[in-house]
Amino acid sequence: MLKKMAAISLTAAVLVLTAPAVATAAPSAPPESDSYAGAPRAGISDPVIGICEASTVVFGTAYFQPSETVAVSVSGLNAESAGISGNTAAGDGSMVVSFTPPSNGEGSYALAFSGSRSYTATIVVSHGRDAATSCDHDPGVAAAVAQSASGPALAATGGDVSPWLLGGGALALLAGGTLVGVSASRRSRRS
């Protein structure tokens, strides 16, 4: 019985102490495609934005032909005033396109990409996120455009390993070690 308790305590201690390290381990670099068939990927950095914000559509390597100029059409309220930049693929076929909605726009916008492959991105613009009527003097706009131009970034969550979790693991390890020691001393007395 004592051996089983010692084994359980030591196993619990190892699991408690290694779980935070495994959970916070940095992931390896993502592959260029996210499907088993190897198809190039495309995604939207911010599918819901305010009128003074920007969104970025990112195409992975080999999505388009190298240096291909891709036709982009925008549909939605006042779509003719929307801003689009970056419609030429890089040398590896990847492409990053920035979308800035019109200052008097709202609702759903469809960005249709036509090239060697086609793709349609849907971006929703809401006045509720930013009530400004003009984005020219908002200092946050430059930062948002610079952020989305560099691509999506990981969120800083502020997560950390709990000292209570570490203390509990150390206590379980100590209890397991004590049980092993008591068991060994009882065994030596019997002999």
pLDDT for 110 equals 94
Whole-Å CA distances, 154 to 26, 120, 157: 11, 24, 9
The string of pLDDT tens digits covering residues 60-112 is 999 999 999 999 999 999 999 999 998 999 999 999 999 999 988 889 999 99
Domain ranges of the chain: 42-149, 162-191
- Those residues of the chain that have pLDDT short of 70 are 10, 12-38, 128-161
The helices-and-strands tally (H runs, E runs) of the chain is 3, 8
Q: Domain 42-149 is classified in which CATH homologous superfamily? A: Immunoglobulins (2.60.40.10)
User: Residue 33 gets which letter from DSSP?
Assistant: B
The pLDDT, as a whole number, for residue 186 is 84
CB 145 within 8 A of CB 98: yes
Residue 139 is predicted with a pLDDT of 43
What is the pLDDT at residue 67?
93
pTM for the structure as a whole? 0.50
User: Which pLDDT score is estimated for 33?
Assistant: 45
